[in-house]
Amino acid sequence: MSSTLPVSRIASDGWKSTAFDVVSFAFKIANAVHRARATHAVSAELWKLDKKLQGLLKEIYREKPVPTQPPDQAALRGGILAIRSLDSSICSLNEALNAGKLLNNSKIAAPMNSLAEHVADLAELAEVVELILDPVNKAAANDLFEQALADFKRGDTVPIESII
Assess whether pLDDT exceeds 70 at residue 162: no
**Domains contained in the chain, number:** 1
| 73 confidence band (pLDDT: 50, 70, 90) | confident
Mean pLDDT confidence for 13-38 = 74
Q: How far apart are CA 35 and CA 42, in angstroms?
A: 10
Q: 5-14, 55-64, 88-97: which has the minimum mean pLDDT?
A: 5-14
Q: Would you say residue 162 lies in a domain?
A: no
Q: Would you say residue 155 lies in a domain?
A: no
Q: How far apart are CA 50 and CA 48, in angstroms?
A: 5
Q: Which domain holds residue 101?
A: 12-62+72-119
| 7 confidence band (pLDDT: 50, 70, 90) | low
Q: Would you say residue 134 lies in a domain?
A: no
CB 57 within 8 A of CB 121: yes
Alpha helices (runs of H) in 13-72, residue ranges in sequence order: 13-61
- Whole-model pTM: value is 0.63
Q: Would you say residue 4 lies in a domain?
A: no
Q: Would you say residue 96 lies in a domain?
A: yes
Q: How far apart are CA 97 and CA 112, in angstroms?
A: 9
Q: Would you say residue 151 lies in a domain?
A: no
Q: How far apart are CA 126 and CA 113, in angstroms?
A: 20
